[in-house]
Structure 1
């Protein structure tokens, strides 16, 4: 009964609270593990969303036990880049660099040393080029020169250099890439803002179908034998799925799944992501061998730009690796001839796997 009365309905607030309490339980596996306030935030200055994302990235790269090293390196990278404002996407750039440095055992001094060669993540190169804008006073000259290798950065507003988009032409182009699939405006907007992410999403959609119709718990954690779910894949078209049994995993890492689909028995063979295939061992790059180029971190080979027998110059792109939305280009450190390529696009790799051999 004061002029500061919010007018909020406390009963409605409790209903909302109860709803989100249930939702949070569905996402239990994705909790960051932060059970109490962390004074470490005054060290690394990570935004909240960046903290949880970076912790998940570190876990996927096998660096979870080195989290405090990641946090310290994040702080070092921030200072190395000029103590920049860290919001999406600049905070991601700092995180990409921190993860790369920890995974490769690099120090700030080594990164800033002009004589020490470093393969910077693509996001770092893109930011230093000025494609996210410029901080007050610009980026530190030393790190700018090392990242860009003499290339002049764009110091004007990045958006001023973007070519106008022909929406109708882009719409037709996207429909062609999706093999004639009908594209609505929301899809087009997603494609224009995040072309690679959107096309990856559509590729998974073609491979696995409309998995967004699955119940949340099933989508994240799978089904248990004897469990039955309902999924509406189209208006009026409902699937009743009952998992009966899961067979043993074979040497290729695949497993047989026995289930009923609308009462009809079915059997499929799928990869068991909980185990590693015993046939997927890759040769490792020899430490100290200048002709061996190894993977700096685990991830997926995004592109391969060279073939056996090809001559390359110092700085030429050999391949790119993608790990948890972080893309890193691997470049030739000297003029050479490619002896062999041990990587293929889409291939899963571990740290120190042999990717390219030089003669």
Structure 2
């Protein structure tokens, strides 16, 4: 997608290379590991032993946000806390709208089989375009199959080239997902390879980096926005 293998390394992939998920079945690529470690040391112990207790802090944060947004938590609040912990990007949105059916896709309804319309018999006469040895001809056929007219088809004129949308190079989404965080700011000068924003897709975070040096113009997305492949995220002038 980026024109170069491993040009972009997802956060979770970097975690595997760092040893944050434990030992891999086979040794990882040493060059890639050194690239993500940036001079640091890989994790060689049980990764969970390095984590500080954070459940109480997370629960307090969820309760605070629920109070600010008027969200009613479940009777057993730990279920909602774990939902936000597992899905930080959309977990709170789910809690906010779980009693609002309009916020979700409607339940699929069984489709009623429609009778197939009987195809009409084509008319006995008509005008057709026929290609012979790479050349197109317009043929008029009358009743009985007699050819009454034969003329060379006039090639369609080529469409005019579209005018450029504006100065600058658009930065597009390489995959569909949600905007996790916009790092670049309007008017900021960035170098090639700088991280512009972070895109979350299928619970994996992907850094979108600048393909060239330039100035950030026209940021078209914000945190939480859903994007499709090819959507313009911002422009580098």
User: Which TM-score band applies after superposition, normalised by the shorter structure?
Assistant: 0.5 to 0.7
Structure 1 residues 208 and 183: alpha-carbon distance in aligned structure 2, compared to 1, 3 A threshold: closer
Structure having the higher strand fraction is 2
Of 169, 172, 179, the match for 2:60: 172
Give the C-alpha shift of residue 316 in structure 1. 3.4
TM-score (norm 2): 0.58
Q: What does residue 279 of structure 1 align with?
A: none
Conservation of the 8 A alpha-carbon contact between 1:175 and 1:182 = no
Instruction: State the distance in 1 between where 2:165 and 2:221 align.
Output: 13
Structure having the higher helix fraction is 1
Q: What does residue 87 of structure 2 align with?
A: 197
Give the C-alpha shift of residue 335 in structure 1. 4.7
Consecutive unaligned residues of structure 1, counting only runs of 5 or more, are 1-103, 113-117, 212-217, 225-283
Q: What does residue 300 of structure 1 align with?
A: 178
Give the C-alpha shift of residue 130 in structure 1. 1.9
What are the Cα deviations for residues 110-143 of structure 1, in whole angstroms up to 9, with x where unaligned?
Answer: 526xxxxx12222212222222112256422123
Give the C-alpha shift of residue 173 in structure 1. 2.4
Instruction: State the distance in 2 between where 1:326 and 1:302 align.
Output: 10
Q: What does residue 188 of structure 1 align with?
A: 78
2:200 is equivalent to residue 322 of structure 1: yes
Please state whether the residue corresponding to 1:135 is helix, strand or coil: coil
Conservation of the 8 A alpha-carbon contact between 2:171 and 2:234 = yes
Give the C-alpha shift of residue 176 in structure 1. 0.6
Structure 1 residues 150 and 222: alpha-carbon distance in aligned structure 2, compared to 1, 3 A threshold: farther
Instruction: State the distance in 2 between where 1:141 and 1:185 align.
Output: 49
What are the Cα deviations for residues 317-351 of structure 1, in whole angstroms up to 9, with x where unaligned?
Answer: 21122233333121234554213322233333232
Instruction: State the distance in 2 between where 1:322 and 1:166 align.
Output: 23
TM-score (norm 1): 0.41
Structure 1 residues 343 and 193: alpha-carbon distance in aligned structure 2, compared to 1, 3 A threshold: closer
Give the C-alpha shift of residue 294 in structure 1. 1.7
Instruction: State the distance in 2 between where 1:173 and 1:351 align.
Output: 33
Conservation of the 8 A alpha-carbon contact between 2:18 and 2:42 = yes
Instruction: State the distance in 1 between where 2:172 and 2:235 align.
Output: 9
Instruction: State the distance in 2 between where 1:307 and 1:161 align.
Output: 34
Give the 5 Å matches for 1:77-226.
104=1, 110-111=4-5, 118-135=7-24, 138-148=27-37, 151-165=40-54, 167=56, 169-179=57-67, 181=71, 183=73, 186-188=76-78, 191-192=81-82, 195=85, 197=87, 200-209=90-99, 220-221=107-108
Of 217, 221, 228, the match for 1:350: 228
Conservation of the 8 A alpha-carbon contact between 1:190 and 1:198 = no
Please state whether the residue corresponding to 1:164 is helix, strand or coil: coil
Instruction: State the distance in 1 between where 2:98 and 2:190 align.
Output: 39
Instruction: State the distance in 2 between where 1:199 and 1:346 align.
Output: 7
What are the Cα deviations for residues 163-201 of structure 1, in whole angstroms up to 9, with x where unaligned?
Answer: 12363x443322111126565685436635852516723
Conservation of the 8 A alpha-carbon contact between 2:80 and 2:95 = no
Q: Which has the larger radius of gyration?
A: 2
Please state whether the residue corresponding to 1:341 is helix, strand or coil: coil
Instruction: State the distance in 2 between where 1:199 and 1:321 align.
Output: 11
Conservation of the 8 A alpha-carbon contact between 2:89 and 2:180 = no
RMSD over aligned Cα atoms: 4.0
Structure 1 residues 210 and 321: alpha-carbon distance in aligned structure 2, compared to 1, 3 A threshold: same
